[in-house]
Protein backbone atom coordinates (compact mmCIF):
# COMPACT_ATOMS: atom_id res chain seq x y z
CA UNK A 1 0.00 0.00 0.00
CA UNK A 2 2.74 2.46 0.95
CA UNK A 3 4.75 1.60 -2.19
CA UNK A 4 1.65 2.18 -4.35
CA UNK A 5 0.91 5.49 -2.64
CA UNK A 6 4.52 6.65 -3.03
CA UNK A 7 4.39 5.91 -6.78
CA UNK A 8 1.17 7.89 -7.25
CA UNK A 9 -0.72 10.39 -5.11
CA UNK A 10 1.28 9.91 -1.85
CA UNK A 11 -1.96 9.85 0.15
CA UNK A 12 -3.25 7.24 2.56
CA UNK A 13 -6.60 7.25 4.32
CA UNK A 14 -6.50 6.20 7.96
CA UNK A 15 -9.50 4.87 9.88
CA UNK A 16 -9.71 3.41 13.35
CA UNK A 17 -10.73 -0.22 13.74
CA UNK A 18 -13.88 -0.63 15.82
CA UNK A 19 -13.76 -2.48 19.14
CA UNK A 20 -13.67 -6.26 18.75
CA UNK A 21 -11.47 -6.10 15.63
CA UNK A 22 -9.07 -8.67 17.05
CA UNK A 23 -11.28 -11.60 16.00
CA UNK A 24 -11.03 -10.61 12.31
CA UNK A 25 -7.78 -8.60 12.23
CA UNK A 26 -6.42 -10.35 9.12
CA UNK A 27 -9.77 -9.96 7.33
CA UNK A 28 -11.85 -6.83 7.04
CA UNK A 29 -12.91 -5.87 10.56
CA UNK A 30 -15.33 -2.95 10.82
CA UNK A 31 -13.86 0.53 10.90
CA UNK A 32 -15.29 3.84 12.07
CA UNK A 33 -16.97 5.71 9.22
CA UNK A 34 -14.95 8.91 9.69
CA UNK A 35 -11.23 8.90 8.94
CA UNK A 36 -8.46 11.25 7.89
CA UNK A 37 -6.44 11.38 4.70
CA UNK A 38 -2.72 11.89 5.17
CA UNK A 39 0.00 12.88 2.75
CA UNK A 40 3.25 10.97 3.08
CA UNK A 41 5.79 13.61 4.10
CA UNK A 42 8.72 11.24 4.64
CA UNK A 43 9.28 7.56 4.11
CA UNK A 44 12.04 5.12 4.90
CA UNK A 45 12.12 1.66 3.33
CA UNK A 46 13.20 -0.98 5.85
CA UNK A 47 15.22 -4.12 5.16
CA UNK A 48 12.25 -6.35 6.01
CA UNK A 49 10.07 -4.75 3.29
CA UNK A 50 8.10 -2.48 5.61
CA UNK A 51 8.20 1.33 5.72
CA UNK A 52 8.50 3.98 8.39
CA UNK A 53 6.36 6.88 7.23
CA UNK A 54 5.43 10.33 8.46
CA UNK A 55 1.90 11.36 7.48
CA UNK A 56 0.54 14.91 7.53
CA UNK A 57 -3.21 14.85 8.04
CA UNK A 58 -4.92 16.79 5.29
CA UNK A 59 -8.67 16.12 5.19
CA UNK A 60 -11.39 14.33 7.09
CA UNK A 61 -13.48 11.89 5.10
CA UNK A 62 -16.45 9.54 5.41
CA UNK A 63 -16.17 6.01 4.07
CA UNK A 64 -18.93 5.54 1.49
CA UNK A 65 -18.08 2.01 0.35
CA UNK A 66 -15.22 -0.45 0.26
CA UNK A 67 -13.80 -2.24 -2.77
CA UNK A 68 -13.03 -5.93 -2.51
CA UNK A 69 -10.18 -7.93 -4.00
CA UNK A 70 -7.14 -5.77 -3.25
CA UNK A 71 -4.12 -6.75 -1.17
CA UNK A 72 -5.11 -3.88 1.15
CA UNK A 73 -8.32 -2.05 1.87
CA UNK A 74 -9.54 0.48 -0.67
CA UNK A 75 -12.59 2.67 -0.19
CA UNK A 76 -14.65 5.27 -1.93
CA UNK A 77 -14.80 8.27 0.38
CA UNK A 78 -16.43 11.67 0.52
CA UNK A 79 -14.40 14.62 1.73
CA UNK A 80 -15.83 16.37 4.77
CA UNK A 81 -15.68 20.11 5.31
CA UNK A 82 -14.39 21.54 8.57
CA UNK A 83 -16.51 24.68 8.99
CA UNK A 84 -15.52 26.84 11.95
CA UNK A 85 -18.95 26.89 13.58
CA UNK A 86 -20.07 29.80 15.73
CA UNK A 87 -17.10 32.23 16.00
CA UNK A 88 -18.03 33.46 19.50
CA UNK A 89 -18.39 29.90 20.79
CA UNK A 90 -15.11 28.93 19.15
CA UNK A 91 -13.22 31.81 20.76
CA UNK A 92 -14.73 31.08 24.18
CA UNK A 93 -13.85 27.37 23.94
CA UNK A 94 -10.36 28.25 22.71
CA UNK A 95 -9.75 30.37 25.85
CA UNK A 96 -11.12 27.56 28.04
CA UNK A 97 -8.84 25.00 26.36
CA UNK A 98 -5.79 27.20 26.98
CA UNK A 99 -6.83 27.58 30.64
CA UNK A 100 -7.35 23.80 30.99
CA UNK A 101 -3.94 23.14 29.47
CA UNK A 102 -2.45 25.57 31.98
CA UNK A 103 -4.10 23.66 34.84
CA UNK A 104 -2.90 20.35 33.38
CA UNK A 105 0.79 21.24 33.43
CA UNK A 106 2.73 20.05 36.44
CA UNK A 107 4.82 22.42 38.53
CA UNK A 108 6.30 25.49 36.89
CA UNK A 109 5.76 24.27 33.32
CA UNK A 110 4.14 26.89 31.14
CA UNK A 111 1.86 26.43 28.19
CA UNK A 112 3.05 28.60 25.34
CA UNK A 113 0.55 28.93 22.54
CA UNK A 114 0.73 31.34 19.70
CA UNK A 115 -2.41 33.48 19.88
CA UNK A 116 -2.34 34.31 16.20
CA UNK A 117 -2.85 30.75 15.00
CA UNK A 118 -6.02 30.27 12.99
CA UNK A 119 -8.65 28.42 15.04
CA UNK A 120 -8.56 25.32 12.81
CA UNK A 121 -4.77 24.97 13.12
CA UNK A 122 -4.86 25.63 16.87
CA UNK A 123 -7.51 22.99 17.58
CA UNK A 124 -6.29 20.36 15.12
CA UNK A 125 -2.65 20.67 16.20
CA UNK A 126 -3.63 20.19 19.85
CA UNK A 127 -5.84 17.22 19.00
CA UNK A 128 -2.95 15.62 17.14
CA UNK A 129 -0.19 16.39 19.61
CA UNK A 130 -1.82 15.50 22.93
CA UNK A 131 -1.38 11.97 24.23
CA UNK A 132 -5.01 10.89 23.95
CA UNK A 133 -6.46 7.42 23.48
CA UNK A 134 -7.45 6.36 19.95
CA UNK A 135 -11.14 6.51 20.89
CA UNK A 136 -10.73 10.04 22.28
CA UNK A 137 -9.01 11.09 19.05
CA UNK A 138 -11.80 9.43 17.05
CA UNK A 139 -14.41 11.40 19.00
CA UNK A 140 -12.55 14.59 18.03
CA UNK A 141 -12.37 13.56 14.38
CA UNK A 142 -16.13 12.87 14.41
CA UNK A 143 -16.97 16.50 15.31
CA UNK A 144 -18.63 18.35 12.43
CA UNK A 145 -17.24 21.83 13.15
CA UNK A 146 -14.04 23.28 14.57
CA UNK A 147 -16.08 24.80 17.44
CA UNK A 148 -17.56 21.38 18.25
CA UNK A 149 -14.08 19.81 18.12
CA UNK A 150 -12.74 22.50 20.45
CA UNK A 151 -15.65 21.92 22.86
CA UNK A 152 -15.04 18.15 22.76
CA UNK A 153 -11.32 18.68 23.38
CA UNK A 154 -12.24 20.78 26.41
CA UNK A 155 -14.47 17.96 27.71
CA UNK A 156 -11.60 15.48 27.34
CA UNK A 157 -9.13 17.81 29.07
CA UNK A 158 -11.53 18.46 31.95
CA UNK A 159 -12.14 14.72 32.33
CA UNK A 160 -8.38 14.06 32.41
CA UNK A 161 -7.94 16.77 35.05
CA UNK A 162 -10.72 15.26 37.16
CA UNK A 163 -9.25 11.79 36.73
CA UNK A 164 -5.81 13.04 37.77
CA UNK A 165 -7.27 14.78 40.83
CA UNK A 166 -8.78 11.45 41.85
CA UNK A 167 -5.48 9.61 41.42
CA UNK A 168 -6.10 8.10 37.97
CA UNK A 169 -4.35 8.39 34.59
CA UNK A 170 -5.01 12.10 33.98
CA UNK A 171 -1.84 12.70 31.97
CA UNK A 172 -1.26 14.49 28.68
CA UNK A 173 2.33 13.28 28.26
pLDDT digits (tens, 9 = 90+) for 55-66: 988 899 999 999
**Are residues 98 and 43 part of one domain?**
no
Residues of the chain with pLDDT under 50: 107-110, 173
* pLDDT score recorded for residue 107: 44
CA distance 67 to 114: 43
Is residue 173 assigned to a domain?
no
Sign, Cα dihedral of 29, 30, 33, 35? negative
Final residue belonging to a domain, choices 63, 79, 95: 79
* pLDDT score recorded for residue 133: 92
Is residue 64 assigned to a domain?
yes
Work out the number of other CB atoms within 10 angstroms of the CB of residue 25.
9
Q: Taking the model in full, what pTM does it have?
A: 0.81
Amino acid sequence: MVADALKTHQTIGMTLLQPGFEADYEGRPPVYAIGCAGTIERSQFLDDGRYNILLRGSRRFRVVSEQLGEPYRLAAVEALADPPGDPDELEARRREVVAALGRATDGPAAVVLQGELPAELFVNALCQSLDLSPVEKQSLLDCGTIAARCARLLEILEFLLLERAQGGRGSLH
